[in-house]
Amino acid sequence: MNFLNDMRFRAFCYQIGAIGLVVAVAWTMFATASDNLAKQNIATGFGFLARQAGFVISETAITYQPTDSIARAILVGIVNTVKVSLLAAILGTVLGLFVGVARMSRNPLLARLALAYVEVLRNVPLLLYLFLWYSLIIMVFPPVKQALNILPGVYLSNSGLVLPAIFVENGAAIFALFICAGLAAAILIRRISQQRRLTTGKPNHGTVIACLALVLPPLVLWMLGLVSFGWDIPQAGRFRLTGGLHVRPEFVALLFGLLLSVSASIAEIVRAGIQAIGPGQWEAAAALGLHRSRVMRLVVLPQALRLIIPPLTNTYLTVFKNSSLAIAIGYPDLVMVSNTVMNQTGQAIETIAIFMGVYLSLSIAISLTMNWYNARVALKVR
């Protein structure tokens, strides 16, 4: 009788009960599902990934043909998802930073304009904006037969923007190697110069030298003729444009929608971060004779950054997950490719498991990266 009142025993029972319940539910679902699948003659397992995909994907960042495997098609979807969310996150951050600072402007007109921008974006569903941008592109621009030839080689129509593409004719590997080496050298030089400036207090030309280190090696390579470039100029045919780099309206609408929503969130985060820095910081910096813009850049923003990083992580996770709205306007991201695969093979459970797994692991990767960065900029308490 006594052990029923024992806290440890009861805790043990609760936990066993909870785990048992979860296992029982999972087992029942698994049993029914395999029963149902057996009746519908759907094979379980991931064997279908090796089968031929057989469908066309309109936008591929890596080479893909309908004769490739389903696994390759899903990989194309993953790359497309990462491409659009990464671009939206970067461009949205830059735009959001400006809007956030404009929101703090002492000029009421500018502050109100920025406020209106943020409110209009935050209070209307993203999906609605995606539909709106997409139909605007389709409506405003002429059909591809009457594509606008705005610059030589640049065509604009309602099936997208076609640009001349530049590509490396030969020596791509050595070119990439030199760019990486230049980047590494630039980062190293910049770090050394900064260190030297901090210890001596004298300004130096580290930034300029770093830029040279970045640009010179590929330039020398090109001048020596070890690497050559070619242009892929789009040709206007009777019905369509061939060649060149094709930026599709689905991509533009999705990118635009996502980056605007990111910028609105980031503007609010930046504003909250800046406002959280006490007026004493402003006044102290002003007393040292710093101009308002330098106070912002050198004193306030670095401190605000610490407060900004955690909500910023959430914004990046959100834009990554929101890129799945692509399916609504037909941009072939991971969800849309998976949906096609699902309709074609009937392997709903496996396909959904794959794309949920991919989202989950990439989300965790983003969280870890941002946490690492957060730990780096966090105030060191010694």
Contacts with other proteins by CB under 8 A lie at 11, 14-16, 18-19, 22, 29, 32-33, 35-37, 39, 105-110, 113, 119-120, 122-128, 131-132, 135-136, 139, 317, 321-322, 324-325, 327-328, 335, 339, 342, 348-349, 352, 355-356, 359-360, 363-364
> What's the min distance (Å) between Cβ of 19 and other proteins?
6
The DSSP annotation for 43-102 comes to: PPSSGGGGSB-----S--SS---TTSBHHHHHHHHHHHHHHHHHHHHHHHHHHHHHHHHH
Residue 221 or 354: the one with the smaller Cβ distance to other proteins is 354
Q: Shortest gap between Cβ of 324 and other proteins (angstroms)?
A: 4
Closest separation in Å from C-beta 362 to other proteins:
9
Give the nearer residue to other proteins in terms of CB position, either 208 or 364.
364
Q: The tokens of 35 are what?
A: 């029963």
- Shorter beta-carbon distance to other proteins: residue 22 or 187: 22
Strands of the 245-247 sheet, one edge to the other:
148-151, 154-157, 160-163, 245-247
Distances, alpha carbon 7 to alpha carbons 21, 160, 181, 210, in Å: 21, 67, 62, 64
In the complex, least distance from residue 133 CB atom to other proteins, rounded to whole angstroms:
10
Pick the closer one to other proteins by CB: 194 or 363. 363
Q: How far is the CB of 138 from other proteins (least distance, A)?
A: 9
Q: Which residues pair with 230 in a beta bridge?
A: 167
User: In the complex with other proteins, which residue's Cβ is closer, 216 or 327?
Assistant: 327
CA 200 to chain centre: 40
Minimum separation from the CB atom of position 48 to other proteins (A): 16
* Under 8 Å between Cβ of 374 and 314: no
Number of residues that this document lists for the chain:
382
Closest to other proteins by CB, 35 vs 169, is 35
List the one residue out of 43, 11, 22 whose CA is nearest residue 347: 43
Least CB distance to other proteins at residue 241 (A): 24
Residue number, 110 or 209, with CB nearest to other proteins: 110
> Exposed (0-12), middle (13-18) or buried (19+): which is 214, by Cβ within 10 Å?
buried
